[in-house]
Structure 1
């Protein structure tokens, strides 16, 4: 989750596709479209063995593209596939355990904070990033206003980077970026049309280049 660009960057959430090869091919196409900071790979109800097979195909593609591959699911799978990090969507005790056991060897971030108090509790654990929203929370064209508001508040006060979940419309990244956050996460906005995946990433990066505020060095 390095901040190489001086503006809000794209985080991809891998879509729920049963066929591992098809899923990996879509991710590969997305990575051809331009800058991607990281790719979160959710388990989507797969058993650990199946999930590992999916992750084994995706993680090298992500790393070869210069992005961070983050496993949302079993930490043992993350280790076996040599992922860069773990995304923790669970409760605070699970998050605390992951930070204690895996930082700094791996990137650890996420959280399920829905208010400022919960966010500050996550922040006290000193994760690598905090995530506002749910990985499958892109159910409307725009990003959820509550997540944008939390991201804006967080980014104005806390040095730990934050990721805000976007909507199903690629243009939803603009409102997220204008909140001053470091990362915007997209899933359906990129992957809903398998034939347009590369173009969608290109489109999002063009929007961020044009509209996103620049961070100070």
Structure 2
């Protein structure tokens, strides 16, 4: 079981260029963000690599790890290495997980999402991923129920060593997800669309996590 407060993992909108860097810097400048998942729009490998080079420092200079993902038929391991990212994230595909784990070795993190079943989750854990993401928006934008994500994260956190990330669709969802002992809570639109800006959202989220930890 986690003996420290869950940490924040932010997920960007799908990015088509490097203009999102100021928002990344503002969010990560709080010092409360453990990792950022850069969702890159499909493009050729060189374009994607250059995007990572332009965006990653905005998060990394504030201590946040940068993980990259894209729906493009591109070599994520090469893009991460050349772009200076700290890891890659893919949708559930056991054969690709094993291939990437072999190529990335221990140099870069490997995360997996779009996990449909508990059996799938265990398969990915055995394949050596560094974290599993539960509850993120589906390709059509719909979300699984918060109750189902709480149940899945609590099950995983209680039994398995591999860290998990539980997606919170709103700031209000952070508390029940953190109570599962998930190592990370993920936020997307709740941060980027916050009326007072990304930094205010991250600070509010961090305060919720600290309160939740203190109440244990």
TM-score (norm 1): 0.86
Which residue in 1 is equivalent to 2:88? Answer: 86
Check 1:133–1:45 CA distance in 2 against 1; reply closer, same or farther (3 A cut): farther
Which residue in 1 is equivalent to 2:163? Answer: 161
Question: Is the CA contact (8 Å cut-off) linking 1:143 and 1:166 kept in structure 2?
Answer: no
Which residue in 1 is equivalent to 2:73? Answer: none
Which residue in 1 is equivalent to 2:68? Answer: 71
Alignment of 1:211 with 2:209, yes or no, is no
Which residue in 1 is equivalent to 2:37? Answer: 40
CA offsets per residue over residues 140-166 of structure 1, 9 Å max, x none?
A: 6x9632222111000000011001111
CA offsets per residue over residues 6-29 of structure 1, 9 Å max, x none?
A: 2111001122344422x1111111
TM-score (norm 2): 0.86
CA offsets per residue over residues 190-216 of structure 1, 9 Å max, x none?
A: 00147511100000001111114689x
Gaps of 5+ in 2: 71-75
Alignment of 1:29 with 2:31, yes or no, is no
Could you say what secondary structure the match of 2:197 adopts? helix
Q: CA deviation at 1:106?
A: 0.9
Q: CA deviation at 1:178?
A: 0.9
In structure 2, what is the Cα distance between the partners aligned to 1:143 and 1:26?
Answer: 28
Q: Which runs of 4+ in 1 moved over 6 A?
A: none
Check 1:131–1:70 CA distance in 2 against 1; reply closer, same or farther (3 A cut): same
Check 1:136–1:68 CA distance in 2 against 1; reply closer, same or farther (3 A cut): farther
Q: CA deviation at 1:139?
A: 5.0
Gaps of 5+ in 1: none
Higher mean displacement: 157-166 or 44-53: 44-53
Paired residues for 1:7-156 under 5 Å: 7-21=5-19, 23-73=20-70, 74-134=76-136, 139=142, 144-156=146-158
Q: CA deviation at 1:30?
A: 0.6
Q: CA deviation at 1:44?
A: 2.8
In structure 2, what is the Cα distance between the partners aligned to 1:196 and 1:31?
Answer: 12
In structure 2, what is the Cα distance between the partners aligned to 1:107 and 1:80?
Answer: 15
